[in-house]
Amino acid sequence: MSKNTHSFQAEVAQLLHLVTHSLYSNKEIFLRELISNASDACDKLRFEALDNAALYEDAPNLEVRVAFDKKARTLSITDNGIGLSQQEAIDHLGTIAKSGTREFMSRLSGDQKADAQLIGQFGVGFYSGFIVADRIVVESRRAGLPADQGVRWSSTGTGDFEVETITREKRGTSVILHLREDAEEFLNGWKLKQVISKYSDHISLPILMEKEEWKEGEDDKGGEMVATGEWEPVNKASALWTRAKKDVTEEQYVEFYKSISHDYEAPLAWSHNRVEGSTEYTQLLYIPAKAPMDLWNRDHKGGLKLYVKRVFIMDEAEALLPSYLRFVKGVIDSADLPLNVSRELLQESRDVKAIREGSTKRVLSMLEDLAKKATAAAPAAAPETPAADGVTDVVDKKEAEPAASDADAAKASEDAGKYAKFYAEFGSVLKEGLGEDFANRDRIAKLLRFASTTSDAATVSLADYKARMKDGQEAIYYITADTLAAAKNSPQLEVFKKKGIEVLLMTDRVDEWALSYLTEFDGTPLQSVAKGAVDLGKLQDETEKKAAEEAAEAFKPVLEKLKASLKDKAEDVRVTTRLVDSPACLVVQEHGMSTQLARMLKQAGQKAPEVKPVLEVNAEHPLVKKLERDEAHFDDLANILFDQALLAEGGLPEDPAAYVRRVNALLV
Ligand SMILES: Nc1ncnc2c1ncn2[C@@H]1O[C@H](COP(=O)(O)OP(=O)(O)OP(=O)(O)O)[C@@H](O)[C@H]1O
């Protein structure tokens, strides 16, 4: 192949521009990214070589070499991993294959600081080389291909890249950075070692650099460091999760997280354990502080890497955790699984089942721990009972001690905010667990937080709610709506407000579905206030009940007429005591699908059963009383009553024009 020029995928060109302009303040991360790619390439080789040892050729020791050339102003990162074929170089170094790329691009604002944060979350990988280089040359040969099928890829990071065939004896990849003038600091052995030990110490392969010695200059001209030709490792070269906890600093845990997740922010919590017993494995699990772009997609792969006896097997091993914990990042290293385990085999393995259960429990305990810290910081709230699952020994666990200094106080308040932060990012995903993980449903339920009629923020746990229930209250009441405002102002809440009964306000898209799996909490049923007839049980006194029955009796003839008038729209019409200020509201039958969920399904283009709601009217309301007197407009009034009830809960009348006509007729 002669030299060919290719254009970058449009997104890459855009990203490159941003990388060079936004990540400037944190230049050195390019080295972490390139070393991490080099290490991944070695992992891939080791994995492919399980079936084909010939791929090792004559170099079975996998390693990464970092070298610089002061005169040529180049810095190179060389690995003897899997390498790239010509086509792979074109495909992988010219496009971004990651899911969520488009979504990511659309969120960029043009504000460099904000965008730099976003890019950090997205992970720029290879392209980060352009932060420090104005030209990058990649020379590579894929393991197993003949020497004359090497490839040289080069680009100045603007719109195009060039690809040509070269002969390369050694398999693997060299990334050669032609450094910009202002990146000269990386032409220094000491500086490079410092950056490598900061970001890449956990890499399990040796990262080698040439040993340097001080050489005096001639004629008193001052000396300089010169390379000796001898290579020495500059990292510890033991995978971080294989080390004892006491040998790993907090900073190293954070850096390791950043390198496997490409996240900018530190994680909220982590847990590192060696599990022994019938299934042996090491787990290092992290709870991120920020949700990735495509978390909502249920096809979003899990964030766990699977190793077997320290050999990398696969990324995104979704079988290791249930889907509702897909936000968790980390590593599982199993001592029992066969090295050639495939995704399909994983699904069926009993060891994997044990790992999955153990890791699920571990994540839930981490979350309980965070939640407990939040509660400890807010003494007014009801204390959370920690789940007794026998799982202890969480690395980041610190007993809540009285803050001894300002620093401790700051740490305590930071810890206290972590659960709220977690919940804002991942609460909706966690809720999916109610429907997915029956064995842990109670633990998940304890972790849920909602807004309520006493708190706009999602801070109320079901346990808090229970602790505040009124004497005689027999259910946990909730309402689902599209928005907090719609939930708060819903007519269905009126009687609850009047009686001072707290109602949970649920506005998450998954609430209705998820809550259908949670019929009770700690022995108390959950009851939607928009479903079925309102039964306040002991909260309503005898006189109230009697008055309501009498009103319903007196209203019967009007009710019959209303039913006839609205027979196409309403399943039934009845008198209610749940309304105080509003004339009417809609409810669905006890086990029916809420009108809100039906609407959502329709919007999503899915089939939803036709739900005819029940219209409940407030016999005391002047508009309803008017029905008794105004024979001429009865039909119009009845329809307006129904349509307004629909509007109040965020719906739209079936025939909006007819609704407007009817209202106007009454207005003039
Ligand atoms: N040293 C290397 N050896 C072999 N292939 C490489 C090397 N560096 C990069 N690649 C290939 O280029 C692709 C793109 O790399 P890049 O760092 O941009 O993204 P990534 O590694 O896939 O994603 P991320 O960095 O977010 O994990 C890699 O997936 C890999 O296939």
Check if the interface score ipTM surpasses 0.95: yes
In a domain, 379, yes or no: yes
**467 or 400: which leads in pLDDT:** 467
The domain that holds 165 is classified in CATH as 3.30.565.10
Residue 386 pLDDT greater than 90, yes or no: no
The strand ranges marked E within 64-156 are: 64-69, 74-79, 133-141, 150-155
In a domain, 400, yes or no: no
**263 or 643: which leads in pLDDT:** 643
Best residue among 36, 37, 200 to mutate for probing ligand 1's pocket (most ligand atoms within 8 Å of CB) is 37
Amino acid in position 650: G
Residues 66 and 191 in one domain: yes
Q: Is 475 in the pocket of ligand 1 (CB under 6 A)?
A: no
79 annotated as a binding-site residue: yes
110 alpha carbon to ligand 1 midpoint, in Å? 26
37 alpha carbon to ligand 1 midpoint, in Å? 5
| Residues 313-342 pLDDT 10s | 887 778 899 999 999 999 999 988 887 777
Chosen domain end from 185, 215, 236: 236
417 CB burial (10 A radius; 0-12, 13-18, 19+): middle
124 annotated as a binding-site residue: yes
d(CA 585, CA 615): 6
Q: Band of the pLDDT at 278, cuts 50, 70, 90?
A: confident
d(CA 395, CA 194): 26
Q: Is 613 in the pocket of ligand 1 (CB under 6 A)?
A: no
Best residue among 126, 163, 176, 312 to mutate for probing ligand 1's pocket (most ligand atoms within 8 Å of CB) is 126
Q: Phi, psi at residue 324, to the nearest 5°?
A: -75, -5
Residues 273 and 366 in one domain: yes
DSSP conformation letters of 373-400: HHHHH-TTSPPPPPP--S----TT----
Average pLDDT over residues 32-57: 91
453 annotated as a binding-site residue: no
294 alpha carbon to ligand 1 midpoint, in Å? 20
Residues 343 and 219 in one domain: no
The domain containing residue 584 runs over which residues? 449-667
Q: Is 262 in the pocket of ligand 1 (CB under 6 A)?
A: yes
Rounded to 5°, angle at Cα 48 from 45 and 50:
110
Decide: 317 and 332 in contact? Cβ < 8 Å.
yes
DSSP H/E element including 275? strand 269-275
d(CA 48, CA 649): 58
| Residues 367-377 pLDDT 10s | 999 999 888 76
125 alpha carbon to ligand 1 midpoint, in Å? 7
Residues 423 and 457 in one domain: no
Nearest Cα residue to atom 17 of ligand 1: 125
Q: Is 303 in the pocket of ligand 1 (CB under 6 A)?
A: no
Residues 299 and 153 in one domain: no
In a domain, 256, yes or no: yes
Q: Is 38 in the pocket of ligand 1 (CB under 6 A)?
A: yes
Give the pLDDT of residue 299. Answer: 59
Residues 173 and 293 in one domain: no
The domain that holds 574 is classified in CATH as 3.40.50.11260
Give the pLDDT of residue 165. Answer: 97
53 alpha carbon to ligand 1 midpoint, in Å? 23
Residues 210 and 263 in one domain: no
Chosen domain end from 217, 236, 255: 236
640 alpha carbon to ligand 1 midpoint, in Å? 62
State the closest ligand 1 atom to the C-alpha of 97, by its place in the atom list counted from 1: 22
d(CA 332, CA 318): 12
In a domain, 405, yes or no: no
121 annotated as a binding-site residue: yes
The 3-state DSSP composition of the chain as helix, strand, coil percent (nearest 5) reads 45, 20, 35
Residues 510 and 652 in one domain: yes
122 annotated as a binding-site residue: yes
Chosen domain end from 180, 205, 236: 236
52 annotated as a binding-site residue: no
Nearest Cα residue to atom 25 of ligand 1: 125
Number of domains making up the chain: 3
Strand partners, 151: 140, 165
Residues 127 and 24 in one domain: yes
In a domain, 401, yes or no: no
Residues 25 and 166 in one domain: yes
Nearest Cα residue to atom 14 of ligand 1: 92
The domain that holds 250 is classified in CATH as 3.30.230.80
Q: Is 92 in the pocket of ligand 1 (CB under 6 A)?
A: yes
Helix, strand, or coil (residue 5):
strand
Q: Is 172 in the pocket of ligand 1 (CB under 6 A)?
A: no
Q: Is 37 in the pocket of ligand 1 (CB under 6 A)?
A: yes
Q: Is 84 in the pocket of ligand 1 (CB under 6 A)?
A: yes
| Residues 76-126 pLDDT 10s | 999 999 999 999 999 999 887 666 667 777 777 777 667 766 666 666 789
Average pLDDT over residues 486-502: 88
In a domain, 406, yes or no: no
343 annotated as a binding-site residue: yes
Residues 485 and 591 in one domain: yes
Q: Is 259 in the pocket of ligand 1 (CB under 6 A)?
A: no
CA 595 to chain centre: 29
Q: Band of the pLDDT at 490, cuts 50, 70, 90?
A: confident
In a domain, 635, yes or no: yes
Tokens of 506: 């649920």
**130 or 598: which leads in pLDDT:** 130
Nearest Cα residue to atom 1 of ligand 1: 38
115 annotated as a binding-site residue: no
182 contacts: CB under 8 Å, gap ≥ 6:
none
92 alpha carbon to ligand 1 midpoint, in Å? 7
Residues 465 and 362 in one domain: no
In a domain, 403, yes or no: no
